[in-house]
């Protein structure tokens, strides 16, 4: 008999579910309407202003098709500006608006505390161990 709850794949999905739910709840309680993906996109755009959509997608391991919608929603919220790149009119360069920069600054500390919350049931040494193994599993793949 297959004990679903013992399978790594099942447990990983559950943890991802919990992490997203904590993220969205925390944001919502603070009055922000941001998903994990939107936060990741804004963080990278803040670090590399002028990045194009395809490069952004690869930075955060997303599909190029998906990122379009994410960016569209961030533009609609007024957090991200999109402009056609002069040297390569096929590409669109992205940057944070002033409002986007402010929101990102406010939200980043909350995201950090959510990270602690996700690992809340572990001791410090267990957390470090878990992160090590996570990094090893994701590295390069």
Residues that bind DNA (CB under 7 A): 13, 17, 20-21, 33, 35-38, 52-54, 61-66, 68-73, 87-92
| Residue 5 Cβ vs DNA, minimum distance, rounded to whole Å | 15
Q: Which does 4 bind (CB under 5 to 8 A by kind): DNA, a second copy, none?
A: a second copy
| Residue 138 Cβ vs a second copy, minimum distance, rounded to whole Å | 5
Contact 111, 39 (CB under 8 A): yes
First-last CA distance in the chain: 31
For the chain, give percent helix, strand, coil, nearest 5. Answer: 65, 10, 25
Q: Which H or E run includes 9?
A: helix 8-29
Which residues, at least 6 apart from 59, have a Cβ–Cβ distance to it below 8 Å? 44, 48, 51
Stretch that binds a second copy, among 39-47, 50-58, 70-78, 87-95 (CB under 8 A): 39-47
Closer residue to DNA in complex, CB, 24/119: 24
64 part of the interface to a second copy, by CB under 8 A: no
């Amino acid at each position: 008999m297959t004990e679903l709850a013992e399978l790594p794949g099942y447990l990983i999905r559950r943890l991802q579910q919990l992490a997203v739910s904590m993220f969205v709840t925390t944001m919502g309680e603070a009055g922000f309407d941001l998903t994990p993906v939107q936060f990741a996109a804004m963080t990278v755009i803040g670090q590399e202003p002028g990045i194009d959509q395809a490069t952004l997608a690869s930075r955060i391991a997303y599909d190029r098709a998906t990122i379009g919608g994410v960016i569209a929603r961030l533009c609609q919220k007024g957090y991200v500006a999109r402009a056609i790149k002069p040297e390569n009119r096929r590409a669109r360069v992205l940057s944070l608006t002033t409002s986007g920069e402010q929101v990102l600054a406010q939200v980043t500390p909350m995201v950090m505390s959510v990270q602690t919350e996700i690992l809340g049931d572990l001791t410090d040494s267990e957390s470090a161990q878990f992160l090590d193994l996570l990094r090893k599993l994701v590295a390069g793949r």
